[in-house]
Amino acid sequence: MATLDVPSESIASDSNYSENTSNSSNSIHNTIKDLSDFKLKNILQNNSNRKSVYLSGTFDSKEGDAIVILEKTAFAEENLNNDSDYFTDKSHLEKIFQNDIYGDYKYFTRSKLNTIKTTIIHPATEKHIFKYSIQKCHIVDETPQIYNDIVLPYLTDEQFSLQWVYNILEHKSESERIVFEDVDPVNGFIMVPDLKWSGEIDTLYLLAISNRRNIKSLRDLTQEHLPLLKNIREKGIEVIKNKYGLEGTQLRIYLHYQPSFYHLHVHFCYLKHEAPGILAERAHLLSNVISNIELLPDYYQKVTLPFVVRENDKLFLALEQKGISKKL
Ligand code: M7G
């Protein structure tokens, strides 16, 4: 087993999204207006590259743990024009020092230009907390046998809730955010902005979610799914071109292995955006996937697929118990 330390946010993990908690009276999302009730317990991760922090804590008068993710957003080019508040006296500069022709300043701009993308998960399980904590990770070369004997049983037992996915497919949540829908039950899908996207074109990130509910991941894909995969690729590209003006050649279109959520979905990102989860050990380009299946219909049932597992994941323990780490 090869090991590496990475923020576990970028690797396969569970998320145990509780069934429809967003509709229950305990849900923070029904009432929250600010973070004054948030009581910080731990800084799980402070990612200076992504300018984001992952915090765990609780909310006064609400049961259960919470995770709050704060992320400074990218500049939106549409805000960079001579009429914008960047270039008026509504914002002010504080000089730090000047040396010859060089000056260093802090710039305090109007608060609307300083949006912090905020994701709140509540109630969060222990597994959510693991997901966003820095921890030791390992790469496992998953043979079909390891998948069938160890990973698949683990997934069946430990798979986290797909309620948020079904809410999208059934138009119960995010319906106003749907960018495109092909209602065909076999080859259709819904495209929505990904939770991680704060809306600037430079960081474009959309998700195509298959209407079919019986495809867990890359491992399940066969030639039977080629029409679905091609449909997602063709229509997804067309929609993004029409709505956001980006060509298909400017997009990174990929699946994760392992994914966090075992319902077939495809990530569409702007090529120049280094989104989390685009590294070699996790991202599989859709074109490659299609081509592999065209070459060999049961390619993904036969191939060894490396994936990253966190040391505190039950799956890692199961692999250790079967001696997988010693064999690798
Ligand atoms: P994944 O490959 O299963 O795992 O992708 P990852 O989360 O580790 O990348 C699932 C994708 O769904 C991710 O890009 C998430 O940001 C996104 N996502 C997760 N949730 C809970 C939601 C949600 O509620 N709404 C939307 N629109 N996207 C979500």
Q: At what angle do helices 226-244 and 286-295 cross, to 10 degrees?
A: 160
From 194, 218, 289, mutation site for ligand 1 pocket: most ligand atoms within 8 A of C-beta: 194
Question: Which DSSP helix (H) or strand (E) runs through 163?
Answer: helix 163-169
- Please give the model's pTM, rounded to 2 decimal places: 0.88
CA of 265 to the centre of ligand 1 (A): 9
Closest residue by Cα to atom 22, ligand 1, is 195
Write out the residue limits of the CATH 3.30.428.10 domain(s) in the chain: 134-327
Sign, Cα dihedral of 140, 143, 145, 147: positive
CB distance 269 to ligand 1 below 6 Å? no
CA of 194 to the centre of ligand 1 (A): 6
Distance CA 232, CA 210 (A): 8
Find the radius of gyration of the CA atoms of the chain: 22
CA of 261 to the centre of ligand 1 (A): 7
Fold for domain 134-327?
HIT family, subunit A (3.30.428)
Contact 170, 263 (CB under 8 A): no
How confident is the prediction along the chain (328 residues), in pLDDT tens digits per residue?
A: 544 444 443 333 333 334 444 456 678 998 899 999 999 999 999 999 889 999 999 999 889 999 999 999 988 888 888 888 889 888 899 999 999 999 999 999 987 888 899 999 999 988 889 889 888 899 999 999 999 999 999 988 777 889 999 999 999 999 999 999 999 999 999 999 999 999 999 999 999 999 999 999 999 999 999 999 999 999 999 999 999 999 999 999 999 999 999 999 999 999 999 999 999 999 999 999 999 999 999 999 999 999 999 888 889 989 998 887 654 4
Cα separation of the two ends of the chain: 5
Per annotation, catalytic residue among 128, 225, 263, 265: 265
